[in-house]
Amino acid sequence: MEHFKVNSIHCTDIWEKAAQYPDVTVNDNGDTFVVWQKYLDHVEQIVFAKIENREVIDPLVISGKGLALRPSMHTFNETVYIAWSEFYDEKWHLCVRDYKDGTFGGIKVVESGEALFYPSMKDDGENPVVVYNRQGVGFSEVVLATIGFDISKEVVSKSKKSYRPSFDHDDKGNYYVTYDRYNGENYDVVVRAKVYGKWSDEVKISESKNNCTHPVMVNCKDKVTIVWYENGSLCYFNNSAIDVYVENGEVNCSPITILVENANWYNNIDLTVNKKGIVVCTYTWGKYNAIIKIRENDIWSEPIVVTFNDGHCAVRPKVALDNNNVLHYVWQFANRNGHEHRYSSIIYNNVSLDEARKFYDYEIEKQVDQFIQPIITDKKLDFHNNETVRAWLNKNGYDNLELKFGDIHGQSNLSDGLGEIDQYYHFAIDGAKMDFSALTDHDNYPDIATDSEWEWNRTTRNLFNGEEDFAVLLAYEWTSNEYSHDFGHKNVYYPSSKGGMYRSTEPSGNTPYRLFESIKKDGGQCIPHHPAADWGLVSAATDWDYVDDEAQRLVEIFSRHADFEKYENTSRFTKNIKKMKRRCVQDALARNIRLGIVAGSDSHQMEHGLEGGIMAAYVPSLTSENVFTAMYDRFVYGTTGARILLSFKINGHNMGEELLVLNNQKVIGEVSVLALDKIKSVIVFKNNEVFIEKSVDSNAIDFTFEDTDRKETDTYYVRVEQVDDHRAWSSPIWVDSK
């Protein structure tokens, strides 16, 4: 909106440094303060500043020596309190600092430990408090810390896996804490109240089967108001609100108000109230706008777009409403898709509610980004039981191996996806029933992935890798075309918790060759995906002139975008996006680029393992290191999601291997398939041509073949297609003559 754009203040220079995770607060005197996270040259700090006469006054670094993450700010008794997480000395530290009358207190470390996230700064009417997550393998709990001369802490959650807390109190002296919890299938929002010095049981306030998450709470005199967002299948989301109050010592709730619902890929939410009881909720509309709704006399207004509505990204909005009904808000600006500068900046603005009401937008919440539309199709995702898989493996000579399935390609709201990091892994385990997974948030879209975010990603990976019967690869997505080069997208993987993020915006990773060298030093590998994608604005397709036999040994043949085996292929399980010629998997194989084959989802809406494809890996046991080794050895294959069992050997060698065979020696191939529906065809490709094609009126086939018509190099791979259109592709086997 032009009105809001011309009145905005740029708190940071987008060309000089990256800035993220802003917050804003206003005291009773009308003084306005902002805080944000600054990133430059691997230094990450919290910056605090005052806004005066629409200028940023004396920005000052207030964090310590480590990598600072996600500040939260609150004013109490004319003192401003700031909380954040900070990583140093191989630990996370939950830190708090105060400011009053131009003077800062020292940094107080509330706690140090393995994983301390999501701080939220508030007060209980007598003292400042901070609530946060303390996480470990198999648990996450909410801690309430009261900040006084000493710091007292108590665990205030009851569920085993509780996340993202918010705290407040009412004017009757009752305390409330709300958080989202994982219940084994999805996320609920719950609340507890402390009445007469005793905490109540958890009261579930969300009602749906969606992932209900990130509640934010404010004091509304004799009650508290809580908002949260939900995400469900097929890109569904909503933002909900509820009032909670204590009556006769019991926790009571109003009916839920759904502020908005639609389909989208990204969401943030925040809430503020002033002493007049007027409430303002802000939330993002996709990645491109922040919206506010005003509640007065228990009636929510129509939506108002308070960001620029210019096609660029507007995320992580925060709001503070002063007692003169002036709304102060900050948000994070980043450039749209394309060859753009990838730092983000912090924007501040204020507007009276009377002025804001002139800009109701009755159409904005009807809009749906076509890029995010779900794939509506009948897609069965059956699998064989463990006994059947074991018998099939033994029959094919894999007595000492297991066959595991996972999806190692998807995003969260760390970059441009819907949902939180922990939700991503929980869905992989319980929603998609994956054996292994990886989170591949972008290195530079919509903004730079910072070092603290990488450590947060690494920490969370470590926690979920410790879950029973589940393995997690440390990963990210190298996204060169969003910066300045059309080299395509590559997912980078590491076998353990060690490994760096080499961004396409930095000298260590700004070309494929530099990326290859950097990740090889850390023991990593990368996989190009949607290799022929043609999105028009810039190329997301892979440039096959850049190869490395050590660092780039696989290609993703199938995802939600398209079947990339060859240019002509389509699939009802994909979006069937436009493709570029000479960029598909067969094009790379024709150039004797030796790539194994995997599939993934590239899900941005928490449906990884369900939409798009998955990868199968032969491993001696389920560990991240073994999955990584199978990938490196190309002892893997891809499917469209069905867990088809596929074995392919030549002269006793497994898929992914390279053989050196005498010129006059024949090659003998073995194929074994146990599908989940009747088999339409099994094709052995030789040098991208159909060499053998079989069909059978059942779900199983075993056959051998011989080949004596040899060239200097022959490339063989197998494609299986079921009658229900599910497919599987083996990694190739290369036979070189001598």
Specify the pLDDT at position 703: 99
What would the pLDDT profile of 336-357 be if each residue is shown by its tens digit? 989 999 999 999 999 999 999 9
Q: What is the pLDDT of residue 370?
A: 76
pLDDT score of 53 more than 80: yes
CA separation for the pair 600, 615 (Å, rounded)? 7
Tokens of 339: 């060859």
pLDDT at 1: 63
Q: What is the pLDDT of residue 367?
A: 86
Which residues have C-beta within 8 Å of that of residue 728, sequence separation ≥ 6? 616, 637, 638, 639, 640, 642, 644, 646, 673, 719, 720
pLDDT digits (tens, 9 = 90+) for 229-252: 999 998 899 999 999 999 999 999
* Per-residue pLDDT at 718 exceeds 70: yes
In the chain, % of residues over pLDDT 70: 100
Q: What is the average pLDDT across 285-292? A: 95
Mean pLDDT of the chain, nearest integer? 97
- Report the half-sphere exposure of 386 (CA within 13 A, side-chain side): 3
pLDDT at position 664 is 86
**Residue 139 predicted with pLDDT over 90:** yes
How does pLDDT run across 195-227, given as a tens digit for each residue? 999 999 999 999 999 999 999 999 999 999 999
Mean pLDDT of 511-524: 98
pLDDT tens track for 84-134: 999 999 999 999 999 999 999 999 999 999 999 999 999 999 999 999 999
Residue range 423-437: mean pLDDT, rounded: 98
Q: Is the peptide bond before 512 cis (omega within 30 degrees of 0)?
A: no
Structure tokens at 231: 């995400």
pLDDT category at 369 given cuts 50, 70, 90 is confident
Give residue limits of the domains in the chain: 160-256, 401-643, 645-738
pLDDT at 383: 95
Nearest to 452 by CA among 67, 64, 56: 67
Q: Is 0.95 surpassed by the pTM of this model?
A: yes
pLDDT at residue 46 tops 90: yes
- The residue that leads in pLDDT, 5 or 182, is 182
Distances (CA, A) of 514 to 168, 337, 479, 502, 519: 50, 23, 14, 9, 9
> Each residue of 291-316: pLDDT tens digit?
999 999 999 999 999 999 999 999 99
| Nearest residue to 258 (alpha-carbon basis) of 275, 284, 237 | 237
**Residue 139: count of CB within 10 angstroms of its CB:** 13
Mean pLDDT of 601-616: 96
**Residue ranges in 253-407 assigned as alpha helix (H):** 353-356, 386-395
Q: What is the per-residue pLDDT for 568? A: 98
CA-nearest of 171, 122, 117 to 145 is: 122
User: Which residue, 94, 175, 77, 92, is CA-closest to 128?
Assistant: 77
Residue 143 pLDDT level (bands cut at 50, 70, 90): very high
Q: Across residues 404-408, what is the average pLDDT?
A: 99
Collapsed DSSP state (helix, strand, coil) of residue 513:
helix
pLDDT at position 539 is 82
Rounded to the nearest 5 percent, the helix, strand and coil shares of the chain are: 10, 45, 40
Report pLDDT for 33.
98
590 conformational bin, left if phi > 0, alpha if psi -120 to 50, beta if neither: alpha
State the pLDDT at residue 535.
85
Instruction: Identify the H or E element spanning 586.
Output: helix 585-590
pLDDT in tens, 668-691: 999 999 999 999 999 999 999 999
CATH T-level assignment (fold) for domain 401-643: TIM Barrel (3.20.20)
Tokens 């441009």, residue located: 416
Closest CA to 119 of 167, 92, 87, 85: 85
How many Å apart are CA 548 and CA 525, to the nearest integer?
A: 10
The average pLDDT across 552-570 equals 98
**Is 645-738 assigned to CATH 2.60.40.10?**
yes
Average pLDDT (24-52) is: 97
- Which positions ≥6 away from 587 have C-beta within 8 Å? 532, 544, 566, 567
First to last CA, the chain: 69
In which residue are the tokens 């053998």 written? 692
